[in-house]
């Protein structure tokens, strides 16, 4: 079987081979994101009942929790690519890492923003220096620092290595965010959904949240693939295959 051989997978680490593959995958992930968003919003607003404690404000959860999960997941995936890039020196891995960062930063900002708007009616304040909120803010700074460092170094290889290292050092922050509600006495509520426990909420609420999570996931993949194609074109602009492709466009 082809899929069990190293060389089959290895070829996709070549930007030239990956570029058209990524291009074919983007519409599928974009369409999945759009469909799941419609389904998720339908469940979130029309099926899920009003919360008996928080009233309608709890509906922010259907984007807040997925955005917060994605902010952490994207950081972990980004670190995975950065680590592979640092160990095996595969250029495409570094490119994938840098393609994920802006989308990760966006979800981190959205988690903070929707959290603030949910915090006000629930806790009476938009912001508090609580362990969960503060560590999530640090995550935003890690994303921005990663992007700034990469932009500041001219040599792309050195930029990739330096920023990759920064990302890997910062990964310690992810478990801190995740476990902060358990380790410290925080204003932020504990997890309603964990890997080991059944969700402690109504099933239609859970459905809306999970569907929105997959919608954001598909969106993030589509964005990362689109951005990695831009990065590949930019970096490989002197390569024969890029020049040929541009020739063929006329």
**Residue from 75, 118, 146, 217 in contact with other proteins (CB under 8 A):** 118
Rg (CA), the chain: 20
**Residue from 11, 50, 89, 194 in contact with other proteins (CB under 8 A):** 50
Contact status: 219 vs other proteins (CB under 8 A): yes
Contact status: 158 vs other proteins (CB under 8 A): no
- Taking contact as CB under 8 A, which single stretch among the options 57-65, 152-160, 162-170, 193-201 is the one that binds other proteins? 57-65
Contact status: 67 vs other proteins (CB under 8 A): yes
Judge contact between 83 and 168, C-beta under 8 A.
yes
Contact status: 46 vs other proteins (CB under 8 A): yes
CA distance 220 to 72: 12
Matching residue, tokens 């060389």: 7
**Residue from 70, 97, 106, 210 in contact with other proteins (CB under 8 A):** 106
CA distance 77 to 75: 6
- Taking contact as CB under 8 A, which single stretch among the options 78-86, 89-97, 100-108, 145-153 is the one that binds other proteins? 100-108
Q: Is 103 exposed, middle or buried (0-12, 13-18, 19+ CB in 10 A)?
A: buried
CA distance 175 to 54: 28
Rank residues 116 and 162 by Cβ distance to other proteins and give the closer one.
116
Size of the site for other proteins (CB under 8 A): 39
Judge contact between 216 and 91, C-beta under 8 A.
no
In the three-class reduction of DSSP (H, G, I as helix; E, B as strand; rest coil), residue 51 is classed as: strand
CA distance 32 to 122: 33
Rank residues 56 and 190 by Cβ distance to other proteins and give the closer one.
56
Contact status: 141 vs other proteins (CB under 8 A): no
- Taking contact as CB under 8 A, which single stretch among the options 9-17, 52-60, 133-141, 144-152 is the one that binds other proteins? 52-60
Question: Smallest gap, in angstroms, from Cβ of residue 10 to other proteins?
Answer: 27
- CA angle at residue 240 from 237 to 246, to 5 degrees? 65
Rank residues 120 and 182 by Cβ distance to other proteins and give the closer one.
120
């Amino acid at each position: 079987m082809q899929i069990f051989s190293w060389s089959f997978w290895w070829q996709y680490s070549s930007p030239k081979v990956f570029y058209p593959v990524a291009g074919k995958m983007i519409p599928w992930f974009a369409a999945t994101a759009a469909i799941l968003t419609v389904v998720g919003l339908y469940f979130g607003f029309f099926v899920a009942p009003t919360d008996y404690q928080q009233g309608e404000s709890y509906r922010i959860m259907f984007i807040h929790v997925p955005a917060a999960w994605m902010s952490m997941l994207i950081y972990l995936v980004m670190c995975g690519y950065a680590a592979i890039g640092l160990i095996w020196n595969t250029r495409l891995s570094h490119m994938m890492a840098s393609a994920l960062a802006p989308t990760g930063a966006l979800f981190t900002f959205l988690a903070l923003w929707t959290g603030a708007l949910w915090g006000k009616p629930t806790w009476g304040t938009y912001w508090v220096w609580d362990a969960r909120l503060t560590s999530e803010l640090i995550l935003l700074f890690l994303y921005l620092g990663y992007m700034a460092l990469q932009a500041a170094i001219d040599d792309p290889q050195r930029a990739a290595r330096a920023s990759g290292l920064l990302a890997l050092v910062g990964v310690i922050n992810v478990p801190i965010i995740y476990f902060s509600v358990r380790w410290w006495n925080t204003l932020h509520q504990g997890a309603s959904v964990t890997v080991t426990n059944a969700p402690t909420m109504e099933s239609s609420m859970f459905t809306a949240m999970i569907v929105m999570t997959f919608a954001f996931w598909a969106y993030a993949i589509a964005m990362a693939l689109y951005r990695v194609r831009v990065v590949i074109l930019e970096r490989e602009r002197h390569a024969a295959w890029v020049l040929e492709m541009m020739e063929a466009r006329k």
